[in-house]
Amino acid sequence: MVSSAGRFAELDPLLPPPVPLASGERLRAVTASGTQVSAMLQRYRHGPGDAPLLWSAAEVWQLFPDPETAGTEGFDALLGALRSQVDTEAPGADSACVVNWPSRDAEAIRAFLDHGLVPLSALAVRPAVVPENVETDASIRLAGPDDYPVALALCTATFDYTGLVAHRKREQTAELLGPALRRALGEKATWLAEVDGEVAALAQCDWVESTPGSEAAELLPSGRWGYVNNVVTAPASRGSGIGRALMARAHRELLNQGATGTYLYYNPTNPLSSVFWHRQGYRPLWTSWEAHPAWALR
Ligand SMILES: CC(C)(COP(=O)(O)OP(=O)(O)OC[C@H]1O[C@@H](n2cnc3c(N)ncnc32)[C@H](O)[C@@H]1OP(=O)(O)O)[C@@H](O)C(=O)NCCC(=O)NCCS
């Protein structure tokens, strides 16, 4: 059997070495051809004021297959075991089964699709390549604390759209976004594009260090990463090149300040952002496969 580090490196050279999970419940299964497979199962419950509700169900059963798991049969057996476990617990309507797995594992994808999981979100990375200049009529500037109301309205507009093409929008979206956005506006890593003096687009970014033992090291190679958190163009201004111009500026600034590369989460089911981010030089590293509600897992 290939070691777990070897298996991940074979799948995708950009994956960091797998990190053993500190907690969870061990699930075991045997494939039709007699191979033993196992995974850890973690359970989360988010309360009404918890920010993860922006991108997550309230009740989550998250499966972490052992990193050396290989082949459709193995994932098939593990997902069968997960379904049996979920059946013993009667999940509510606001629930999900989730598996976050290297995007390039095609054999695993066969099993995920067969079990009714959908690729709802992906972590994508972009190497440290300086972007070309983009001609634009928009003027681009750093955002600050005074921009909070317009920034909040734009960030909320992201969820009006992603609420149609990915996770459902929550009634309390603005309240959930508020605290992190206020902090972000004080940190000089959010840019706004203005057209005729009106704010037309926003790119809210941040810094994330991936060092051995850190949470980020579970997903990203070591380094100081620019995190592109929320990018949105006001609905009436979409498709006119503002997003490209804004990201050219944001990428250049993050790279000038020493970013190893940049990363973000996007929804593969989003017909605008999936095309936009791939053209911006991003490619998926991890894909989050989800069944909502949890009993939709087959
Ligand atoms: C993704 C998004 C930020 C892109 O911003 P934008 O200002 O529309 O981007 P641009 O105009 O620079 O580029 C959009 C691309 O889609 C094309 N496009 C064509 N018609 C379009 C339309 N009606 N709407 C959006 N894009 C359109 C553009 O031509 C362009 O492609 P190009 O590479 O050929 O130039 C914007 O579509 C948006 O806000 N979407 C909703 C929120 C969202 O999904 N955010 C991202 C979350 S990860």
Dihedral over Cα of 206, 292, 95, 71: its sign: negative
CA-to-CA separations, 92 to 62, 95, 164, in angstroms, rounded = 15, 6, 22
In the three-class reduction of DSSP (H, G, I as helix; E, B as strand; rest coil), residue 27 is classed as: strand
The set of protein residues with a Cβ atom below 6 angstroms from ligand 1 is 158, 161-162, 201, 231-233, 238-244, 266, 270, 272-273, 276, 279
pTM score: 0.95
Q: pLDDT digits over 43-88, tens only?
A: 999 999 999 999 999 999 999 999 999 999 999 999 999 999 999 9
Specify the 3-state DSSP secondary structure of 142.
strand
Return the DSSP state at 145. G
Domains of the chain: 4-125+289-296 (no CATH), 130-280 (3.40.630.30)
Residue with the smallest CA separation from ligand 1 atom 6 is 243
Q: Which residue's CA is minimally distant from atom 48 of ligand 1?
A: 266
Q: pLDDT digit string (tens) for 94-131?
A: 999 999 999 999 999 999 999 999 999 999 999 999 99
Secondary element (H or E) of residue 290: strand 283-291
> Is pLDDT of 199 > 90?
yes
Would you tell me how many other CB atoms lie within 10 Å of the CB of residue 5? 14
Q: Using CA atoms, how far apart are residues 63 and 41, in angstroms rounded to an integer?
A: 5
Per-residue tokens: 295: 């009993």
